[in-house]
Amino acid sequence: MPATVDRFVSENQSRFLDELFDFLRIPSISTLPEHKADVARAAQFVASALESAGMEHVEVIETDKHPLVYADWLHAPGKPTVLCYGHYDVQPPDPLELWKTPPFEPSLRDGNIYARGACDDKGQMYMHIKAVEALRAENGGKLPLNVKFLIEGEEEVGGESISKYVPAHKEKLAADVALVSDTELFADGVPTLCIGLRGLMYLEIEAAGPARDLHSGMYGGAAPNAVYGLIELLAKAKDANGHIQIPGIYDDVAAPAAAELESWRRLPFSEEEFLKQEVGSSALTGEPEQPVLARIWARPTFEVHGIAGGFTGAGAKTVIPARAVAKVSLRLVPNQNPDSILASVKDWVRQNTPRGISTEIRVLSAGPAISVNPDHPAIHVAAQAFQEMLGKPTVFIRSGGSIPIVGEFAKHLGIPTVLMGFGLPDDGLHSPNEKYRLSNFYDGIRTIAHFFERYGGSGGQR
């Protein structure tokens, strides 16, 4: 990158940090109604920051819940357009007593910014704005490409408003690629692009047995138990080695290419550390013939998140529960079609519901996996920019989770997303003492600016 942009970031870094601290002081907790005004204040903060950075058409868009913020700068004809996405809302900070410093009084310790939202996602989305500011400042008010911003305030509560907004504003949001910084580096100092996300199908399976809760003394031995019926059903979903037993579930699974698997083997990953420092159980589980990274990135899962039904209070109550409901999800991988997976699950549930029990399935959400082609020019350039900034080869990883907006951009705008995040695995998102490495904040600004320059300089290869 031109030394001038680099110097601008260096010269302004304490101001950038002061601004971010002001942003972090706003308790924009989207799930708590008593913070609605704070969420609105955070939206205004974002809008002002975009104005200051020289963005145009800055809008705070009211929705049924929390505002969206839009802005653009479109004076680079013939150059590609990048749609920058981020969110200014945060998770609740509970449990408060576990924070070493208050969640909304940002504090700098050991080279880290501690605050709720430091990494997820205020600190990361603010990098986009500062990158644009730096580029304009050092280029006479011009950018090397066209930029649009769409920032939401409901990411932590389901993102309903943006899901409605995107398909209704396809032309306004048209772009060549989206940029999202809401992910992490695979390890400290390792340039990382995420090119695959699993899909998610979330279901409720409800079981009904007797007409009402029964006394287990008077009926136990002859009456069906809804909780046990559901247990019997769900236990059949996987064998002891974690292989899903639903017929057809693996039929369409696209295995990662040999080269991708090989690249995962070169990642700085220790199964032992993963088990001890992250999972904390006595053993890892799942398909033994699959490497751990494949299990969490490239294999479908069947997970039971909870069961409600029967008696779970203190002490003893001898009830045969009439009803039970389980929260169940399947993570989907590339080439799996949510509709046909749902059909397979429904067939399987019907065929495996125990005698005396009836079951019903409710679909809460269903989205396919996302793959980004690493040969797409934007990804290619992003990888180069990353490598040039951090001085190491960029690694391409996947994430086992789902970022629904990436699917929405693909579906409605027809664009891939560059998932270029600067968090670290131990940043504690959604947990007490969330942090963001200060150097990653500055490296991120520089890397994004460099990506914009390179992608603009590529002359609009799309």
Interacting residues with a copy of itself between 272 and 301 (CB under 8 A): 274, 278-287, 290, 292, 295-296, 299, 301
Could you say which of 34, 64, 100, 211 contacts a copy of itself (CB under 8 A)?
A: 211
Site for a copy of itself in 66-95 (CB under 8 A): none
Identify the three-state secondary structure at position 266. Answer: coil
- Total Cβ atoms within 10 A of residue 411: 13
Minimum distance of a copy of itself from residue 446's CB (angstroms): 27
Site for a copy of itself in 395-414 (CB under 8 A): 399-402
Residue 59 vs 232, nearer CB to a copy of itself: 232
Residue 10 vs 358, nearer CB to a copy of itself: 358
Distance CA 56, CA 175 (A): 16
Listed in order, strand segments (DSSP E) in 172-256 are 177-180, 192-197, 199-208, 214-215
Parallel, antiparallel, or unpaired for β 177-180 and 81-87? parallel
The yes or no reply on residue 221 touching a copy of itself (CB under 8 A) is yes
Q: Count CA atoms within 13 Å of residue 408 on its CB side.
A: 21
State phi, psi for 433 to the nearest 5 degrees.
Answer: 60, 40
Minimum distance of a copy of itself from residue 95's CB (angstroms): 12
Nearest CA-CA partner of 39 in 114, 108, 89, 100: 89
Site for a copy of itself in 154-193 (CB under 8 A): 158
Residue 356 vs 460, nearer CB to a copy of itself: 356
Site string for a copy of itself, 311-330 (x = CB under 8 A): xx--xxxxxxx---x-x-x-
Site for a copy of itself in 112-151 (CB under 8 A): none
Residue 220 vs 393, nearer CB to a copy of itself: 220
Minimum distance of a copy of itself from residue 410's CB (angstroms): 18
The yes or no reply on residue 216 touching a copy of itself (CB under 8 A) is yes
CB 298 within 8 A of CB 197: no
Q: Which amino acid is at 189?
A: G
As a whole number of Å, the end-to-end CA separation of the chain is 21
Minimum distance of a copy of itself from residue 220's CB (angstroms): 4
Q: Which value, to the nearest 10 degrees, does the dihedral of the CA atoms of residues 418, 424, 426, 427 take? A: -80
Distance CA 135, CA 450 (A): 9
Could you say which of 303, 339, 347, 426 contacts a copy of itself (CB under 8 A)?
A: 303
Site for a copy of itself in 335-364 (CB under 8 A): 354-358, 364
